[in-house]
């Protein structure tokens, strides 16, 4: 018998995607209506939109299922104290209890807590199953805004190392989250394929080809020696450097593809400079009176736009600076390609360039709020008690390929998305290799594997999951069962917050929580044991399926596979 699969129940399930409204929204409506009633009865002049009603899940379950601070935030406007207003609101709400609410309670200085029956969770579970992997947890907060996420953009002067790879996971996961929440997303890698670093790479390559030591400040990695053995071109350092950079870039692409990072655009810095866009950008700034000459160099009046000092756009020798190229690049992003928003993911070493970039964008006539810069902090790796060094020029960097080969692409992705981008972090590779509950990577993937195991066991026993319309989800009353549903019900909010805060690590935290909830359910609630009532077994099979959907969505946003076995 084939493995149990979800059935098409859109037309027959008890709650469909078109009729289900999250209980949070229904409570907000009820609270807003209660405010209106209290205002009318007391001539208070209050008017609250449901969207303004803040509802949250109390940290302690004994305080109820949901809580609102509406009395605290509106009492002053009503000319009364929060507890008095909250008392009046509770009285109104108790007259006509909202759906699934069994009690409304006053707490503290004016909080209102709601206790609900389990039916709201059963409705939420049905909605997860009805909407499925493609439809569930897809809040439209982007409304089609065209956003570009530029990330990694490491110089193609050596293999991609762990630091860049860590930030790459962030950029890719952020793009996935934004795409799921209604943004029109483009992923871009800015290829720094010109300038001094390319000449230095060429110089290093040619030195190795001659059998000589790499000059001071050059690139010393083994990859330079390997490339030198392949190079049969001229002794021009720029030509040699461009040749090497092209091949290194192909390796970078292969490495990133191996961890699921794919770009829509690989944008060449050289193309910006060779197109005349830098001269056009400087001319545009000059037309606004924001450029002047001093000591043979061309300067940008960035200080008057919030920078700490003015900046050089063109050196006395005629070479354009990095800033000039970067402004031309952002002019292309905003004014030529027409992105509504640009999110740049930089390393912490770019901190000093941020103010200049914002000043330049504003000078180009673009509202600086349309540009966001996210700075990745230092990432350190240890292997047990041994530190792992990362330094590209010295040839001591740990390549991302090395880490991927060691712990695998999925573990690399999860590990790199466990901490916020703006926090320095240290990760122990030795701990990730251990297959135990203490290893968060193993813990999450084991939940997925257990889900797969349930399906295989059902096949072995000839158990087929019934149509959802024929299953009584209200049989799911065990605290472990309901905790899984509570977690699944939170996912749309988590995804929305991850997008709004530009924090895909919120999804990582949620995925780990779901894994914990599922492990507890799996341990305490037998699914296919002989002594389990068949009707309850069917409900639990659907809860397993909902857990699979949740993990598939969450891990998919992180760029991680959900294994069916381990």
Q: What is the mean pLDDT of residues 373-378?
A: 90
Q: Is the predicted pLDDT of residue 147 greater than 90, yes or no?
A: yes
Q: Which helix (H) or strand (E) holds 333?
A: none
Q: pLDDT at residue 261 above 60?
A: yes
- Measured from the Cβ of residue 51, the count of other Cβ atoms closer than 10 Å reads 9
Hey, which residues does 490 pair with through a beta bridge? none
Closest CA to 94 of 113, 66, 71: 113
Residues 163 and 254 occupy one common structural domain: yes
Residue 177 has phi, psi (to 5 degrees) of -65, -45
For the chain, the average pLDDT equals: 91
Instruction: Give the domain-ending residue among 432, 457, 479.
Output: 432
Same domain, 442 and 554: yes
The whole model's pTM is what? 0.91
d(CA 238, CA 249): 16
| Token pair 């029109």: residue | 184
Grade residue 378 by pLDDT with cuts at 50, 70 and 90.
Answer: confident
In the structure encoding, which two tokens stand for residue 442, read together?
A: 């193993």
Instruction: Give the pLDDT band (50/70/90) at residue 15.
Output: very low
Residue 517 placed within a domain = yes
Q: Are residues 397 and 416 in the same domain?
A: yes
111-116 β-sheet, strand order: 55-56, 66-68, 111-116, 101-107
Percentages helix, strand, coil for the chain, rounded to the nearest 5?
55, 15, 35
User: What is the domain range of residue 96?
Assistant: 23-117
Give the integer Cα–Cα distance in Å for 552 and 135. 12
Residue 195, pLDDT score: 81
CATH number of the CATH domain containing 99: 3.30.1360.70
Helix (H) / strand (E) element for 155: namely none
Given a cut of 60, is residue 21 above it in pLDDT? Answer: yes
pLDDT greater than 60 at residue 561: yes
Same domain, 103 and 169: no
Res 6 pLDDT > 60: no
Q: Minimum mean pLDDT among 18-27, 219-228, 481-490: which range?
A: 18-27
Q: What is the pLDDT averaged over residues 483-489? A: 98
Q: Which two tokens stand for residue 339?
A: 């992105």
Of the pLDDT bands very low, low, confident and very high (cuts 50, 70, 90), residue 11 is: very low
| 423-440 per-position pLDDT tens digit | 888 888 888 888 777 788
Same domain membership, residue 441 and residue 428 = no
389 pLDDT band, cuts 50/70/90, is low
Q: Are residues 73 and 209 in the same domain?
A: no
What does DSSP assign to residue 303?
A: G
Answer yes or no: do 252 and 232 share one domain: yes
* Confidence at 387, pLDDT banded by 50, 70, 90: low
Asked, for residue 312, whether it belongs to a domain, the answer is no
* Residue 147 three-state SS: strand
Average pLDDT over residues 498-509: 98
Per-residue pLDDT, 194: 84
Q: What's the number of domains the chain is made of? A: 3
Q: Is there a domain that residue 332 lies in?
A: no
User: Each residue of 278-314: pLDDT tens digit?
Assistant: 999 999 999 999 999 999 999 999 999 999 999 999 9
Residue with tokens 């399930």: 13
What was the pLDDT predicted at 8?
36
In the chain, the percentage of residues whose pLDDT exceeds 90 is 76
The two counts, helices (H) then strands (E), for the chain are 19, 15
What pLDDT is stored for residue 449 in this prediction?
A: 95
């Amino acid at each position: 018998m084939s493995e149990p699969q979800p059935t098409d129940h859109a037309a027959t399930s008890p709650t469909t995607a078109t009729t289900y409204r999250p209980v949070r929204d229904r409570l907000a409506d009820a609270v807003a209506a209660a405010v209106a009633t209290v205002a009318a009865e007391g001539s208070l002049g209050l008017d609250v939109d449901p969207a303004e009603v803040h509802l949250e899940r109390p940290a302690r379950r004994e305080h109820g299922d949901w809580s609102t601070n509406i009395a605290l935030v509106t009492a002053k406007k009503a000319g009364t104290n929060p507890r008095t207003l909250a008392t009046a609101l509770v009285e109104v709400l108790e007259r006509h209890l909202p759906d699934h609410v069994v009690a409304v309670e006053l707490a503290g200085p004016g909080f209102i807590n709601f206790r609900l029956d389990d039916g709201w969770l059963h409705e939420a579970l049905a909605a997860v199953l009805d909407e499925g992997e493609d439809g569930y947890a897809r809040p439209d907060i982007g409304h089609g805004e065209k956003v570009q996420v530029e990330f990694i953009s490491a110089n193609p002067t050596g293999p991609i190392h762990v630091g860049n790879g860590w930030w790459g996971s962030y950029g890719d996961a952020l793009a996935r989250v934004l795409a799921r929440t209604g943004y029109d997303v483009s992923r871009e890698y800015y290829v720094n394929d010109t300038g001094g670093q390319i000449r230095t790479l060429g110089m290093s390559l040619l030195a190795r080809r001659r059998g000589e030591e790499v000059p001071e400040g050059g690139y010393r990695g083994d990859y330079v020696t390997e490339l030198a053995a392949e190079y049969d071109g001229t002794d021009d350092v720029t030509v040699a450097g461009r040749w090497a950079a092209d091949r290194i870039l192909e390796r970078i692409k292969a490495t990133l593809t191996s961890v699921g990072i794919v770009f829509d655009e690989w944008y060449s810095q050289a193309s910006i400079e060779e197109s005349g866009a830098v001269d056009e950008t400087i001319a545009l700034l000059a037309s606004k009176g924001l450029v002047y000459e001093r000591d043979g160099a061309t300067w940008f009046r960035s200080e008057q736009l919030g920078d700490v000092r003015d900046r050089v756009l063109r050196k006395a020798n005629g070479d354009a600076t990095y800033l000039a190229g970067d402004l031309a690049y952002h002019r292309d992003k905003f004014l030529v390609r027409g992105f509504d928003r640009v999110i740049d993911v930089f390393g912490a070493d770019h901190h000093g360039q941020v103010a200049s970039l914002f000043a330049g964008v504003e000078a180009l006539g673009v509202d600086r709020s349309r540009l966001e810069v996210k700075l990745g902090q230092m990432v350190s790796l240890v292997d047990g008690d041994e530190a792992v060094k990362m330094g590209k020029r010295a040839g001591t960097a740990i390549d991302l390929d090395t880490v991927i080969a060691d712990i695998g692409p999925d573990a690399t992705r999860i590990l790199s998305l466990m901490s916020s981008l703006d926090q320095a972090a240290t990760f122990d590779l030795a701990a990730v290799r251990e297959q135990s509950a203490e290893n968060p990577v193993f813990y999450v993937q084991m939940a997925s594997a257990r889900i797969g195991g349930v399906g295989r066991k059902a096949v072995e026993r000839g158990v087929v999951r019934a149509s959802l319309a024929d299953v009584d989800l209200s049989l799911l009353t065990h605290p472990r069962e309901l905790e899984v549903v509570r977690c699944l019900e939170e996912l749309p909010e988590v995804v929305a917050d991850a997008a709004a805060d530009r924090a895909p690590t919120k999804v990582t935290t949620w995925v780990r929580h779901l894994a914990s909830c599922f492990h507890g359910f799996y341990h305490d609630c037998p699914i296919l044991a002989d002594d389990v009532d068949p009707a309850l077994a069917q409900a639990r099979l659907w809860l397993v399926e909902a857990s699979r959907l949740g993990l598939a969505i969450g891990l998919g946003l992180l760029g991680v596979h959900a294994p069916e076995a381990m």
